Amino acid sequence: MSLPKPNWGWASLPFLLLIWVALASRFPTYILPQPWDVAREALRWLGDRSLWQHLQASVLEELGGFCAAVLVALLLGTAAGLSSRFRDFVSPLNSLFMAIPPIAWAPLIMIIFGLGYVSIVLVIFIAAMFPMAVTIQEGVQSIRGGEVRAARTLGANAWQLLAHVYLPASLPFVTAALRIGFSQGWRALVAAEMIGASRGIGWMVATGGQIGNSSQVLLGIVVIGLIAWLMESFVFRRIERHYQKWRVQ
């Protein structure tokens, strides 16, 4: 009986901390602080509850833009996967918007809608929606014609085909689209907050850089990475496990 292979994923974060400590020891604290300096900065931000306020602002903006992008991407991606004419129509638009960095839209959007929640949500929407729509479209296109013909032979209508054939078969692509969309939206959120917001994690990073507080900058970077890791570990992986069980059933 062979022993299970060890999982070395647990060692990645301690290894990163060791690299951080080693690099920080070669620079003054005001340039590259040690992890414990950043921890003290975090306690200061937690003490006056300002960290929670900025985190809440960023999370609400991300949820607004990401959820809207998911709904539109599901509609567009499914329609483009099912209809070759619609796919030909939207393909140039997808290529155009995916080629332009989402943050390039931020100045124009902020000129039109002003600084604040709506502008940042729109930047997130643009960043997340088009990659998700393309991924979902590829998932719908990958479904074999024999499965569809068999369902139609059994009398399935259009809605039953969507619910019992297209949706289960394209779930891996939907999960991949959610991962891609969230990461793209989260990056766009931070960048948009850095150039046109008065609160949020991106604002923390930008303000820390302007005043020369490297501990604040690193605190914001740590929070950005932590949120992304939590979403991957406790949301997307659980969704993936759930749909795998559902598909088996």
| pLDDT tens, residue by residue, 2-36 | 556 666 777 888 888 999 999 999 999 889 999 99
pLDDT digits (tens, 9 = 90+) for 186-218: 999 999 999 888 889 999 999 999 999 999 999
Query: What gap in Å lies between CA 232 and CA 35, rounded to an integer?
Result: 24
Residue type for position 242: H
State the pTM of this model. Answer: 0.87
The SS3 assignment for 199 reads coil
Structural domains of the chain in order of their starting residue, each with its CATH number: 40-243 (1.10.3720.10)
CB within 8 A of 25, min separation 6: which ones? 34
3-state helix, strand, coil in the chain (%, to 5): 85, 0, 15
**Choice between 82 and 126, residue whose per-residue pLDDT is larger:** 126
> Per-residue pLDDT for 39 more than 90?
yes
pLDDT in tens, 55-96: 999 999 999 999 999 999 999 998 998 888 999 999 999 999
User: How many other β-carbons are positioned within 10 Å of the β-carbon of residue 124?
Assistant: 29
As a whole number of angstroms, the longest Cα–Cα distance in the chain is: 73
Distances in Å between the alpha carbon of 218 and those of 40, 51, 91, 221? 12, 13, 39, 5
